[in-house]
């Protein structure tokens, strides 16, 4: 018989965290104790905040259920490493507020990791880097909206929301949400549009204030049978389809701080100026990119002409209140 109550309770918790139903006699055999000891250890876990449900009788047993709060977790080595790595890269997701929350959780977990596991996590972080890009407010996803849509997908419930298309046009939508898809920092909703009687892909950063319509639908089969493939076909081969050429009146080395966040290619580099090609998804983003560069050095738009017109329009709308 095992006489270490703490070690025995931790092993019992590890078994219960599989979320299967365990017969009391089966647990007693696994732990090499009596059924009476199993019942005492279950009570000890309940005192610690773990919600253990039980059934009585000859074939009675126990199951770990959802509780009102998060109790301490028992993780295996591989699970602990996976959680730490996941939190590190969750901090780079385009979800409002998740960066600070993920880093707080990561700090708590890494503080408790044994040295051997901390080394595994550290080696992975030091060997992998992410291709970062400048944060754009319009790219940020509201976590509450994400929760509403996820619940609607799960419960097959209609959702209404306001949606802004890429060309700036806004409209009210009523959809049957089927699946959320991530692509890098972007989130998409695959849904059947009730008004257009067709499948649509919606970018979550362009979606505002979704709310449940209060009615349910029968799920349909997504074209191709796979939401990720449907989003990929909707986006096309590459989202960056607009190029522009700029003359920037500064040495290329002086522009490293601003260009590092921009998809760019240097074409001609001279001592006091450079010709650079930049790429983005639409004209508005190209214009904002030009404005960002202009904070560092004077910029002249060479092509396309539409971008030059957009930059001039942007400049004409900027003003400073008199002091």
Domain pair 5-64 / 138-235, same fold: no
Candidates 3.40.50.2000, 3.30.70.1150, 3.30.429.10, 3.90.1150.10; CATH matching 242-315: 3.30.70.1150
- d(CA 158, CA 195) in angstroms, rounded, equals 12
- Domain range list for the chain: 5-64, 77-127, 138-235, 242-315
* SS3 state of residue 200: strand
For residues 255-276, give the mean pLDDT: 87
pLDDT band at 103; cut points 50, 70, 90: low
Class of 5-64 in CATH:
mainly alpha
Q: At residue 267, does pLDDT exceed 60?
A: yes
Q: In the beta sheet, which residues pair with residue 266?
A: 276
pLDDT tens-digit readout, 273-309: 999 999 887 788 888 888 888 888 899 999 988 888 8
For residues 225-253, give the mean pLDDT: 81
Q: At residue 1, does pLDDT exceed 60?
A: no
pLDDT band at 93; cut points 50, 70, 90: low
Q: At residue 166, does pLDDT exceed 80?
A: no
Candidates 1.10.1870, 2.60.40, 2.30.30, 3.30.70; CATH matching 138-235: 2.30.30
pLDDT band at 126; cut points 50, 70, 90: low
pLDDT band at 136; cut points 50, 70, 90: very low
Residues 6+ apart with CB under 8 A from 279: 240, 242, 243, 244, 263, 264
Nearest to residue 33, comparing CAs of 72, 56, 1?
1
Q: pLDDT value at position 176?
A: 96
Crossing angle between the packed helical segments 5-16 and 35-47, to the nearest 10 degrees: 80
Task: Check: CB of residue 280 under 8 Å from CB of residue 242.
Answer: yes
Task: Write down the residue that tokens 């949400």 correspond to.
Answer: 177
Q: How many residues does the chain have?
A: 323
């Amino acid at each position: 018989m095992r006489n270490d109550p703490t070690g025995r309770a931790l092993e019992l918790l590890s078994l219960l965290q599989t979320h299967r139903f365990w017969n009391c006699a089966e647990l007693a055999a696994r732990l090499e104790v009596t059924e009476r000891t199993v019942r005492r250890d279950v009570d000890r876990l309940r005192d610690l905040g773990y919600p253990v449900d039980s059934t009585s009788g000859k074939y009675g047993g126990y199951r770990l259920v959802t509780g009102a709060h998060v109790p301490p977790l028992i993780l295996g080595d591989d699970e602990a490493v996976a959680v730490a790595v996941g939190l590190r890269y969750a901090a780079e997701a385009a979800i409002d507020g998740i960066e600070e929350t993920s880093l707080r959780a990561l700090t708590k977990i890494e503080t408790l990791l044994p040295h051997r596991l901390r080394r595994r996590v550290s080696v992975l972080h030091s060997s992998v880097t992410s291709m970062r890009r400048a944060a754009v407010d319009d790219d940020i996803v509201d976590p509450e909206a994400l929760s509403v849509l996820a619940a609607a997908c799960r419960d097959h419930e209609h959702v209404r929301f306001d949606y802004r298309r890429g060309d700036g046009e806004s409209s009210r939508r009523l959809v049957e949400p089927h699946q959320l898809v991530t692509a890098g920092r972007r989130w998409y909703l695959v849904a059947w549009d009730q008004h257009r009687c067709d499948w649509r892909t919606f970018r979550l950063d362009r979606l505002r204030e979704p709310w449940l319509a209060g009615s349910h639908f029968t799920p349909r089969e997504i074209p191709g049978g796979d939401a990720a493939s449907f989003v990929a076909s909707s986006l096309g081969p590459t989202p960056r389809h607009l190029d522009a050429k700029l003359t920037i009146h500064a040495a290329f080395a002086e522009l490293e701080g601003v260009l590092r966040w921009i998809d760019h290619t240097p074409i001609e580099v001279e001592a006091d100026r450079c010709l650079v090609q930049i790429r983005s998804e639409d004209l508005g983003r190209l214009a904002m990119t030009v404005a960002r560069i202009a904070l560092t050095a004077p910029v002249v738009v060479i092509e396309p002409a539409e971008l030059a017109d957009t930059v001039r329009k942007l400049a004409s709308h900027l003003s400073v209140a008199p002091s």
